[in-house]
Amino acid sequence: MTSLLELAQRLTVSACAMTHTTEHAARRRGVAPFLPRLFADRFGHLGGIHRDRFGAELAGCRSFEDARWAGYWEDFAAEHLARADAALLRLGGPGAHQLLDQEFDPGALGELLAPAVTILADRGTVADPAAVERFCAEHPDATDAAVALDGLIKALTYEFVAAWPGWSPQRLRAYERSHRLCEVLLLALAPAMGMIIEAVQIPIGGGDRVRGFLMLPVGAAAVPTLLATNGLEGTLAEMAIPLLAQRGNGMGTFVMEMPGTYSYERPLTPASEGIYSKVIDYLVADPRIDGDRIGMVGFSFGAYWSVRMAATDPRLQVAVANGPLSHRSFGPLNSIGMPEIMVSTLSNTLGAGNTADLARRLRNLSLTELCRRIEIPLLVINGARDTLVSTRDSIDIAIDAANAQLVLYADDDHCAMGNAEHWSALTARFLADHLAAPGAAC
């Protein structure tokens, strides 16, 4: 049950959103009360940043205004980039800022960082803040490689924070920097991880394209492949880096950002399912991929799309939806407590002109009828106390789909981030069970 204190906080956040006074309140109280509850966890998990450290940094941020927000977080990114730069120079390598040049060849960087590749490859869904220190103690000869790699990962993470949630010039600049650092690291270290990683752009019409990473085992031939998509303001790095820890499962993965976000030109609509269909077309046409063994996993708003595509694209054999949205989350009651920055992000993503238009566009996204058409295995995951979307949507989807399993984590929030290590292992097993070749041992 929601406590009176929690309800009062949500009403305050809503009042500030309705009166457009969030920025004024943030200058006095800081930005933390006006952010999703899981904000700190998601970036700490990606960057391996200690909760107390990131919490202290977050407490010092006092504005959502583009230049002040992005500048504040980019200062931390610059500190870690400088740390990486010093370590790279000791290794005789390129300067860290050279990596941001689109003409830079990642090959030489991979040779320098390969001795510490596990810092990137094995971090998983929740990166351990102590992993680098422990690695350096056990492998002193690879200390500079580890420090450089850790610095670059933290730099791209803080650039991601600076970019969140997109839609303004300096945020989009930070997004491109974060994306480039992630791209360079993945391409540079793919051989050391025993992987093929390709930066892919798929044309989808109207001058727009899907930008993603295709990650395959070396020597891939007709391998089962997973299409992974994130939500409203997630990036490729947030999806791709945690999935590296599953590289030994014999599967391929294509990671993409949700239409209507960061790098897309056109807004999100129900017709955006055609974009996902074109991505599946691309995967099915690749001879390294088994077109009869394609699965999909989505997180948050991306989970909405994994449910929708499970209902509409017969080429999917299995799907996972973590924190999905449907008609309850798109209704007016769920907007209580939604921060102003999230309301504006939703409006921009859906191309809404005003509040009434946003409500109409959200209603058009309802999955109520589509869920009854899902016949493939579907795993639905969420926290039982989701403060961002309605947990009841997860329950309704699992009830309506014919072959669904529902896992709710008690006292956990949106996407069950407090149990991320458990559900990531559960998801991997579920997908392997349903995408394994007939007669193959899992």
pLDDT at 4: 74
Tokens 């970019």 label which residue?
A: 163
How far is 153 from 146, CA to CA, in rounded Å?
A: 11
Phi/psi at 334 (nearest 5 deg)? -75, -15
Closest CA to 171 of 45, 34, 73: 73
What domains, with CATH codes, occur in the chain? 31-193 (no CATH), 195-326+367-441 (3.40.50.1820)
Average pLDDT of the chain?
93
d(CA 130, CA 407): 30
Strand partners for 227 = 254, 296
In terms of C-beta density within 10 A (0-12 exposed, 13-18 middle, 19 or more buried), how is residue 169 classed?
A: exposed
What HEC string does the chain produce? Answer: CCCHHHHHHHHHHHHHHHHCCHHHHHHHHCCHHHCCCCHHHHHHHHHCCCHHHHHHHHHCCCCCCHHHHHHHHHHHHHHHHHHHHHHHHHCCCCCHHHHHCCCCCCHHHHHHHHHHCHHHHCCCCCCCCCHHHHHHHHCHHHHHHHHHHHHHHHHHHHHHHHHCCCCCHHHHHHHHHHHHHHHHHHHHHCHHHCEEEEEEEEEEECCEEEEEEEEEECCCCCEEEEEEECCCCCCHHHHHHHHHHHHHHCCEEEEECCCCCCCCCCCCCHHHHHHHHHHHHHHHHCCCEEEEEEEEEEECHHHHHHHHHHHHCCCEEEEEEECCCCCCCCCHHHHCCCCHHHHHHHHHHHCCCCHHHHHHHHHCCCCCCHHHHCCCCEEEEEECCCCCCCHHHHHHHHHHCCCEEEEEECCCCHHHHHHHHHHHHHHHHHHHHHHCCCCCCC
Q: Token digits for 407? A: 């896992």
Q: What is the pTM of this model?
A: 0.94
Q: What is the pLDDT of residue 5?
A: 72
Instruction: Measure the CA–CA gap between 67 and 12, rounded to whole angstroms.
Output: 25
- Report residue 48 as tokens: 């391996």
- Max intra-chain CA distance, the chain: 62
pLDDT of residue 437: 62
pLDDT tens-digit map of 386-436: 988 999 999 999 999 999 999 999 999 999 999 999 999 999 999 999 998
Pairing of strands 289-299, 223-229: parallel
pLDDT tens for the 442 residues of the chain, in order: 456 777 687 788 889 988 999 999 999 999 999 998 889 999 999 999 999 999 999 999 999 999 999 999 999 999 999 999 999 999 999 999 999 998 899 988 999 999 999 999 999 999 999 999 999 999 999 999 999 999 999 999 999 999 999 889 999 999 999 999 999 999 999 999 999 999 999 999 888 999 999 999 999 999 999 999 999 899 999 999 999 999 999 999 999 999 999 989 999 999 999 999 999 999 999 999 999 999 999 999 999 999 999 999 999 999 999 999 998 998 865 666 788 998 899 999 999 999 899 999 999 999 988 999 999 999 999 999 998 899 999 999 999 999 999 999 999 999 999 999 999 999 999 999 999 865 444 3
Is 214 in contact with 93 (CB distance < 8 Å)?
no
Give the separation between CA 155 and CA 161, rounded to whole angstroms: 10
Tokens 């030994």 sit on residue: 248
Q: Which residues lie below 8 Å from residue 323, measured CB to CB, with a gap of 6+?
A: 231, 299, 300, 303, 381, 382, 383, 386, 388, 389, 394, 414, 415, 416
Question: Regarding beta strands 208-217 and 252-256, do their DSSP bridges make them parallel or antiparallel, or are they unpaired?
Answer: antiparallel
Q: How many CA atoms lie within 13 A of 189 on its CB side?
A: 26
| Residue 212 backbone phi and psi in degrees, to 5 | -155, 180
